[in-house]
Amino acid sequence: MKQDFEAHKRDPEYYFDDGSCIFLVEDTLFKQVHRSRLCNDSRQSKDSNSFGTMFSLPQGRLEVEGKSDENPIVLIGNTPSEFRHFLWSFYALPPEINKASENLPLMIDIARVSHKYDFKDLETWALNTIHEYVNRKPSPILAANPPAQSYTFSFHGMASNRTKSNDATTIQNTEELTTLIRLAHLCNHEPLLTTLISHLKQLMSSSVQYAYIAMTLADELDLRSLRGVAYLEVMQKATVVKRTKTDIELKAMTTQLSSTTADTIPFVPGLPAATEEGTVDEEDRLVISRAQQLRLLSGYYRLTSTWERLRTTPPAFDHSSSCGATWHQHGCTQSWVEFWKEKTRIDAVLALGLTDVVGRLKQIHKEYERWGSVPYMHFECRNAARNAILEVIRKIEDGLPDFFSDGEEEDEW
């Protein structure tokens, strides 16, 4: 593809005079030493990647791309920095590779570009290196993010008007975490994704805005393992408000005004400040989207309805065969029903939120363990009843994402 080569600059690190293949990334030219190095993922792998396939295509009578600055191979969708990091992996010496294991931006770029151009071995190496780093004890991911109440931040990387001086670092760390989760999902690297989700779950218990990030990522990437717990965390710990049309119009207005001046205009006198989704507004309400608000409302209705059914009807269990033969089965059932009726009304259960169905059931399970001997309930039936409680807890925990789904879900408990 012919380009206005005079407007292009040569990369200071990876434009080699003796290179055999020239690439253009945005406005930067890269000249690779040997195109054969880009044809295979590694010396051990014979699988061809995207570059190998491209180089093998017949050129016909057209001038071969990549032979001159005037006619380079144009790569779309990456920045010069990303491609520079990708090429670094081909030329780095062992000491440099060892030091780079903690350089997350470098490894992220290598993994992303390798995935795009089908360098499987290189992609796996970069992702495994990232996984080893984030899986350290103590985790650098958890250590890099401040404790609760020390800051506010936006999922979109914009600080609220109440942030402190360390906001830039906080936002960078938050964006790094979300970038890693998206990358692990894109590359289908389950160990890394599982570790990052676990870290995010720990963080969201300390700050509702991490719960917002988890909620938004769960929707964006369809992460079932994250959706239920994230929505429940926001529901139980935050006062929410959906972003209004006025907020959107105000953002457009302030953006237009700021584009006419040298400095960003965060506030327009006489007008309320536009609020970004993921920030906390002046009334300490978490700003969310309309779709998220509807899912929270659906979740609230489904969870409270589930508790109401469970409150009035204890989990069923199969009586022991010896219960009917040697005991009065009706008395066994009655003891179970009376226990359930009593324990669903105790202060320790009612103190938990209406939507904390799992928490309430776990409290009832604790009470059941303290129940002691029951004259009219067979010991095998007692074990069966205990297992019935645990099974209901398991089903609700496994199905928690469905409580916050858009469609209608049938309850199984």
Homologous superfamily assigned to 5-133: Potassium Channel Kv1.1; Chain A (3.30.710.10)
Q: What is the pLDDT of residues 130-159, one digit of tens each?
A: 999 999 988 888 877 655 443 344 444 444
SS (H, E, C) 151-211: CCCCCCCCCCCCCCCCHHHHHHHHHHHHHHHHHHHHCCCHHHHHHHHHHHHHHHCCCHHHH
Contact at 8 Å (CB) between 9 and 31? Answer: no
Q: Give one word for 390, left, alpha or beta, with left for phi > 0 and alpha for psi -120 to 50.
A: alpha
Q: What is the pLDDT of residues 304-335, one digit of tens each?
A: 999 999 999 999 999 888 887 766 788 888 88
| Strand partners of residue 15 | 31
- Max mean pLDDT among 27-36, 99-108, 243-252, 365-374 falls in 99-108
In the prediction, which pLDDT does 60 show?
Answer: 56
Mean pLDDT, rounded, of the chain = 81
Q: What is the mean pLDDT of residues 256-268?
A: 42
Q: Are strands 240-242 and 286-288 parallel, antiparallel or unpaired?
A: parallel
Q: What is the pLDDT of residues 217-228, one digit of tens each?
A: 999 999 999 999
User: What are the structural domain ranges in the chain?
Assistant: 5-133, 135-288, 314-403
pLDDT category of residue 230 using cuts at 50, 70 and 90: very high
Nearest to 176 by CA among 104, 69, 92, 111: 104
pLDDT category of residue 239 using cuts at 50, 70 and 90: confident
Q: What is the mean pLDDT of residues 336-347?
A: 94
Which stretches of 15-146 are DSSP H helices? 36-39, 50-56, 80-91, 94-99, 104-116, 120-134, 140-143
Nearest to 68 by CA among 27, 36, 21: 21
Please tell me the pTM assigned to this model: 0.78
- Whether pLDDT at 50 is above 70: no
- Whether pLDDT at 82 is above 80: yes
- Whether pLDDT at 255 is above 80: no
- Identify the burial level of 371 via C-beta atoms within 10 angstroms of its C-beta, where 0-12 means exposed, 13-18 middle and 19 or more buried: middle
